[in-house]
Chain A
Amino acid sequence: MHEMTMINTTQRNHKIWRELRWISVLFLLLLFCAVASPASAAETSLKKASLMPLWSPQAQFAGYYVALDRGIFARHGIDLEILKAGPGHSPAQALKNGTADFAVLWLTTALQYRSTGTKLVNLAQIIQRSSMMLISKKSSGIRTITDMNGKKVGMWGGDLSIPPHALFNQFNIKVREVPLTHTVNLFLRGGIDVTSAMWYNEYHTIINSGVDPEELNIFFLNNQGMNFPEDGIYAMEKTIHTDPALAKAFVSASLEGWRYAFAHPEEALDIVIRYMHEAHVPANRIHQKWMLDRMRDLIMPGNIQGTLGILKEQDYEAVGRAMRKDGLIRSYPDYHAFSRRYDAGEK
């Protein structure tokens, strides 16, 4: 807005009175903004920024939607747009192309892009551990990872297959991979023996399709030594160079959003579900509640309150080594080159 005023004043013409009227209107608007949000009183202009999450709106991204809806981003000086995501949208690609300033990516994805020369940096590691799991029906007789040898296992494409692949390599077994899409019906109907699932999503969908937890054998990759931290906030190195303050503000606002969401889960669910409706995505509240609750478990594991968003060096190294071993990447950068801690964790 301030910039607009400057432009107007440089283009002097005869219609000074009209200009003055415009200026006074704008001035009033500014004044109003200053009164309405005192936090932005010092900085009167909001920086435009965009975020692409991994998927369409759901509680997995509650922190960002809540921060946007509650004006937390605005308070941090950011006029954020959350870009459409989901099938056909790759957040990593969007970063690379420059269509998104920030993106939510898995660490594995980020490392793969990094190894192919895309200069991504980790600004904050939101999900601290792997939430991926393999599920078999007890009736199938698969009780261990080894039992999966030669069985039909539902696997997602792309980066989501990295952790299970690493697991199967570790156990030295071969499975019959069946590509998975967005439903759990193939598993429910018995088309596959084992399915990949996210704890916060597909697992709950299976439970709420009438299969009791007691009827399932569950293998958390996390418990099998495959602790691949998932959702993190990423940006291009270039973006950070240009405006380090923006990156810092973005991370602060996001983490604040998450804290607010966990402190006010019902309100957070209302917000998420509203965004889901806007995106024409079916919204099941109890499912979103489950997802938000699991996010709390994944984002704030244990009791380390107040230290959100840190990528631990040993986790980073473990993932890098595992990926290099499996030939997914040739090398991975130094932790300090990759991770820029802009955490507002000590708040």
Chain B
Amino acid sequence: MPLAGGTMPGKNSIVIKLVIVITLCSTLIFAVTLGYNYYRSRVILEKELENNARNLAMSLVYRVETELSAVTKVTEGVASSLETGRYTERELLSLIRTTVEKNPEIYGSTVAFEPYAFSAATRLYAPYYYYREKGKIAFSRLENSYKYVPYLYWDWYQIPRELGKPEWSEPYFDEGAGNILMSTYSVPFYGKSGTTKKLKGIVTADMSLDSLTKLVSSVKVLKTGYAALLSRNGMLLAHPLKDAVMNETFFSIAEARNDPSLRKLGKKMVRGESGFIHYKSLVGFSSWMYYAPIRSTGWTLAVVFPETELLENVRNLSMIMAAMGFAGLLLLITMVVYIASTITKPLRLLASATDEIASGNFDVELPTVRSKDEVGVLAHDFQIMMASLKEYIKNLTETTAVKERIQSELKMATDIQASLLPRLFPAFPDRPEFDIYASMDPAKEVGGDFYDFFFIDDTHLCFLIADVSGKGVPAALYMMVAKTLLKSEGQRLGEPDQILNCVNKFLAVDNDSCMFATVFCAILNTETGDVRFANAGHNPPLIVDSQGTRYLALKPGFVLGPMPDTVYEAERIILQPGDTLFLYTDGVTEAQNLEEELYGEPRLRDALQRAAKDDITEMIHCIRAEVTRHANGAPQSDDVTMVAIKYRGVDAK
């Protein structure tokens, strides 16, 4: 049964194959789509982010610069008025005081003079007005309040002095003002002595950085992002790491974390570069940062966007898409399983039905498929096929029964036909003067060939061989008629030509089917060896005598049966004792092998020449074997019939 296993879907099942292939392909397509979507979203987001970050940073830079420039302008104004005008001490003090009073962003201001620059009498002079707590303006003399190191050597004085240009100091904590973060803007001013400019002193304005750091710290960047402010030395001025503010520089943090890339970044910042980078923030998140310089102070402002938050939406979207995709995939698999099952279930049922049918059960119930798809068509065709098969098998059974009956009847006919021919050999054991032997092998169940031999009187043996046209039952029936007629007429008339003339007349009457027979009829005088014979279109027999083996030259004669007026002539030969007459039908000479080569008369003659001369039984068997060998298994269409008669003479007794 080739359909074994059809009912049990294994790993080769269409359903499983479909599910695996579709799941893998869908997952792959979906994953690629999702990944690409995530990547593109990220890229777009980053691009957008850079702009946002730059805008945010620049707006902050602008606000810081605005606050700083208010202070720088005022301070520079004071310096230039000190250069152009002449001020008494009172006017100077009033100028400084007014500067502090009128400019709330200025926490304190001084005009610190070079040694003896204010007056030849005093070495150092630096009046200082500043806000004390509760908004009251206080006054002090810096030449006195700096006890250990004179003001001349402080950064706010020394750096602009040495550089000869205004400078913002590195931010510092002013303990006197209640520990607020300050930066001092210092502007050198000059006096003219002759043609050369000479430094007279430094004008300063202290600015509280509280508002600036508050401004920067208050910037909300998403939820956990932040803005930061760094000094020119990389000192953290405003940063969410409160402990690090004014205690750690970007570089000390880099050293503590042993992170050279952080140091490189810090260097870029303090060099006044700007940029947009992806890095791990000091707070410890993977972040995006835009940094830009505050030109007037050399500080750096940075805005930091935590990556996780930025990508939160994209990630959420991706997660939702992934969930949807997963659900979709499950649905898809379910559908695939369902559809595949609707296809394969009838197929499986059909397969098992086929098993049943194959085992011969045509009454098995076929699955009903309602769908009109290919499976439906298949099931329908299957139904028709089964019905046809059933019908065919039924017919076949009937036909076979009929055929079997005919077959058995034919077998019987064959038996009957065979029994009609003399088959008992030796046929005349009491007649030593001659031997006769014959054989007939019908090609079909019933043949059209026949032979016969009988005594007409005591010394005359009639023997004949015939071949009826056509095959099968009609030929057999015709043969029966012909044989019966030939025997009865042979016994009545005793002359071969007369026998044939007479039988021809009988057969020709009402011969509508135009059947005919070839007949060679001969009568042997057993005493003399004289043989008279007549031929009705039959193959010439062979004579085997002392001179060899040759075909008998005889008149052909017309076949028996179709024409009533045909006249046959008798001829005669004398057989010497030991001579053999060999009769045959065309089944011998026209035996074909697989190459459709005929056995042929020359071969037959040669075979007879070789064959045993004494024993005609042996001779016929030998020829039969030759013919069979020649045919070499090729089916034969004609009966093979042979008759051999050997005259031994009267003395053979």
Contacts and interface: CB of A to CB of B under 8 A. Distances in A.
B234 A185 contact: no
- Interface residue SS majority, chain A: loop
A191 B157 CA distance: 11
B250 interface: yes
B163 A284 contact: no
A218 to B, nearest CB: 17
Given A88-B147, A191-B163, A286-B255, A185 B169 contact: yes
B163 A190 contact: yes
Given A178-B158, A178-B162, 9 more contacts: A87-B149, A183-B155, A185-B155, A186-B162, A191-B161, A191-B162, A208-B249, A210-B233, A210-B266
B101 to A, nearest CB: 30
Contacts of B250: 210
A212 interface: yes
Contacts of B489: none
B638 interface: no
B147 A188 contact: no
A208 B147 contact: no
Contacts of A183: 155, 170
20 contacts: A87-B148, A87-B149, A88-B147, A152-B162, A181-B149, A182-B149, A185-B169, A185-B170, A188-B233, A191-B158, A191-B161, A192-B162, A208-B255, A209-B233, A209-B235, A210-B233, A212-B267, A282-B247, A284-B248, A287-B252
B159 A191 contact: yes
A46 interface: no
Nearest to A189: B159
Contact of A284 (B152, B159, B247): B247
Contact of B251 (A87, A88, A210): A210
Contacts of A207: 251
B270 interface: yes
Interface of B: 147-149, 152-155, 158-159, 161-163, 167, 169-170, 232-235, 246-253, 255-256, 266-267, 270
Nearest to A212: B267
B384 to A, nearest CB: 93
Contacts of A186: 155, 158-159, 162
A286 B257 CA distance: 10
Interface centre among A152, A182, A189, A286 (most CB of B within 10 A): A189
Contact of A286 (B169, B256, B267): B256
A179 interface: yes
A285 interface: yes
A283 B252 CA distance: 12
Contacts of B155: 181, 183, 185-186
Contacts of A180: 153
Interface in A268-288: 282-287
B248 A181 contact: no
A332 B266 CA distance: 50
Interface string A196-217: 0000000000011110100000
A210 B159 contact: no
A338 B232 CA distance: 47
A285 B251 CA distance: 13
B162 A209 contact: no
Contacts of B235: 209
A208 B234 contact: yes
Contacts of A87: 148-149
A209 B251 contact: yes
A209 B155 CA distance: 16
A210 B169 contact: no
Contacts of B246: 282
B96 to A, nearest CB: 24
A285 B256 contact: yes
Contacts of A185: 155, 159, 169-170, 233
B153 A181 contact: yes
A188 B158 CA distance: 13
A278 B559 CA distance: 153
Interface centre among B152, B167, B251 (most CB of A within 10 A): B251
Contacts of B154: 181
Interface in A159-195: 178-183, 185-186, 188-192
